Every structure is written in structure tokens, then in C-alpha cells.
Amino acid sequence: MVGSRGGVRRKVLAVMTALVAVVLAAQPAEAYVEIAHAPPGIWMYERLAGPGEVRATLTLENLRAGEARLLRSESKVSHGTPDRNAVGQKIACGRRAGPSVQETWGGTNLLARDGVTTIVVRQLFVAPAAGTWVCRLLVYTDSHSATIPARVRLESAFLGDVRGPVAVGDWALSTRTGGAVFFPASDTTERTAVQVNGFRAPAGATRLTALSDIFLTNCYGTGGAGCPRGTFPRSGSTTYVLQASLRASNPACVGKTSSALVRTFDQLTHHTGVTLDLAVPLPAGVDCGAWTSRVTARRGSGLPFVVQLYPYSNASLVAD
């Protein structure tokens, strides 16, 4: 999806201090145009049905059709009982009294060994029509148990607008295609996780930023939870490799490729999210042609895994 340049109306500019080891209130590590906080230090309890509780609400007023906002949410959770609760986090945007029109999901398993756990979910929300839109942060828990309901402490959480209005023509989104990309055992083939194709930066833009959010689940036991059903090892760890690139069709415009990101997570964590961002300057007076942003993944060793696609993984391009 491809979304004219416009000025940024900054309502609030908050420069936040660095995070300490244990955070009892939300302390965003970057500036935000607008931000909504959840009440700090509340206990969350498992619900048997429903999409999860709303923890913070951000109202985006007077948007034009096709205007975008880059949203970032962050929660800090701890003290899960029983151990290894699942914690889910969503950004869901829609009309004040209507259904969601765009969502992004994330989450992980909360483990006592990890202490306070941070979950980050981002979304480039695009207004499908003019008017006021409401974006809600949902954070919730699930015990993985039919008999013992979960309890988790939400230390802090917030939902913020990172940069203000992103005008029509200044953005592009990856397709909202669901499903998953599977990386089987003994296969180290590089596969595309997310990509954005064919974006042409508007005249006068000086920088292009590629933002990618990748959500991975490793496969063990009988699979499921995003993995195909089958027979996998009962336990273990996954080592995976991610790499982001940003390239123009005109070689006169210099692109960029990230270093390979190599990380490991075990079957107890089970789900993990990663953000990869790249930015390149746009030369004045040069038509760079079409830009492509791409993130590839491959299995390094250990358990098979999947990259879960929309609404978990997504990518966007934003021109300044």
C-alpha cells in the first residue's frame, strides 16, 4: 500500500530519561508528539473470552483520508503466576464506536527467570477516511492452563504517536497478508519475511526510513500457535538470522543493508518480536525510481520456527 508532504503539528514534545533496571512507570526513551499512559502497577487477570482489556487510548483528531501516524506501544510486565504466562499486546485502531480497521499484535511468554519483561508493538496507522480515529492499547494475559487462571503485574504501559502527521504520498505499507513463513529443521534457506515494493519518494524528500517488525514463534511438541501441526522436538532453542535491506531501482541512489542479526530463544519463551530500521539520505535532484524494503530470515540452528505475518509482522516506508 502506498500512501503529499505536510507540516507536523506537535502537540506535546516529551524527552524522557534513560531507563533504569526496574521501571515502575513508563519512561519512553524517545520523543513523542502525543502519548497516552496506562495506570502503573496494576494487576491483570486472565479472561476466558474477549480481545483483552484496553490499557490506554490515543485519539487522533481531524485526520485526512490516507494520512498516516507512526504509533509505538511499550509495556513492562512481571510477577506472572503461574510461571510462563502468555502476555499479549495489541494496537487496535478504529472509530470511537466502531470495529477495528487496523491492528498490530505482539507478545511473549512471561518467565520468572527474566524478571521485568518489555514488549514493544508498532503500527503505521493509515486513516481509511477523514475524521477522528481512536487507537487503543490492549495488554492481557493467558495462563496456558485450564484450571489455574493467570495473574500478571503490568508495571507500566503507553501508546504514543512518534512523529505526527505522515501525509498521503509519504508512506508505503507491506501487504496485510496473514499466515506464516515456515523455516523447517535442517533447512538454512534464506526467505523473505516482510517487504515493501515500488515506493517512489515524493519530490523534496531528503530521507527515507524503512521500519520492520518481525514476530517469530518456534515449533516444538505437536506444533500449533502459528506453527504447522506435526511432530517436533519436545524442547530446545532456535537460533535465527535476520537481515534488512533498502534498495532503489536507480543505482545512483545508495541503499543500505543491515548487519546480520543473530539471536536465540527457547521453547519456554516461544514467541519473540524484533524491530529492524534502516534510513538512507535521498540525493537532491535525482529520481531514485522505485524503492524496495526487505527483511530476510533464515534458521541458524535448533528448533524450526515461523515468522508470523500480518497482524504480527509488518513493514513500512516513510519519507521526510
pLDDT given for residue 49 in this prediction: 64
pLDDT in tens, the chain (320 residues): 544 434 333 333 332 223 222 233 344 556 899 999 999 999 999 986 666 799 999 999 999 999 999 999 999 999 988 899 999 999 999 999 999 999 999 999 999 999 999 999 999 999 999 999 999 999 999 887 667 788 999 999 999 999 999 999 999 999 999 999 999 998 999 999 999 999 999 999 999 999 999 999 999 999 999 999 999 999 999 999 999 999 999 999 999 999 999 999 999 999 999 999 999 999 999 999 999 999 999 999 999 999 999 999 999 999 99
User: Rounded to whole angstroms, how far apart are CA atoms 107 and 293?
Assistant: 24
User: Rounded to whole angstroms, how far apart are CA atoms 47 and 168?
Assistant: 39
User: Rounded to whole angstroms, how far apart are CA atoms 211 and 202?
Assistant: 18
Q: Is the dihedral of CA 256, 264, 227, 76 positive or negative?
A: negative
Sketch the domain layout of the chain as residue ranges: 34-161, 171-319
Q: Which residues of 46-202 form beta strands (DSSP E)? A: 54-63, 68-81, 85-94, 100-110, 117-126, 131-142, 151-161, 171-173, 180-183, 191-199
Q: How far is CA 109 from the centre of its chain?
A: 16
AA letter at 14: A
89's grid cell: 499486546
Tell me what the pLDDT averaged over the chain comes to.
Answer: 90
Count of beta carbons in the 10 Å neighbourhood of residue 120: 14
What are the tens digits of pLDDT across the range 135-174? Answer: 999 999 988 766 778 899 999 999 999 999 999 999 999 9
User: Rounded to whole angstroms, how far apart are CA atoms 163 and 141?
Assistant: 30
User: Rounded to whole angstroms, how far apart are CA atoms 161 and 168?
Assistant: 17
The CA–CA distances, whole Å, from 213 to 21, 216, 316 equal 25, 10, 9
CATH topology of domain 34-161: Jelly Rolls (2.60.120)
Residue 182 has φ and ψ, to the nearest 5°, of: -95, 135
What are the tens digits of pLDDT across the range 25-69? Answer: 344 556 899 999 999 999 999 986 666 799 999 999 999 999 999
pTM confidence score: 0.89
User: Rounded to whole angstroms, how far apart are CA atoms 207 and 320?
Assistant: 5
**Same-fold call for 34-161 versus 171-319:** yes
User: Rounded to whole angstroms, how far apart are CA atoms 77 and 41?
Assistant: 9
220's grid cell: 516444538
Q: Write the DSSP symbol of residue 259.
A: P
In the CATH scheme, what is the code of domain 171-319? 2.60.120
162: left (phi over 0), alpha (psi -120 to 50) or beta: alpha
pLDDT given for residue 158 in this prediction: 98
User: Rounded to whole angstroms, how far apart are CA atoms 16 and 31?
Assistant: 7
71's grid cell: 504509533
Smallest CA-to-CA distance from 70 within 162, 136, 7 is with: 162
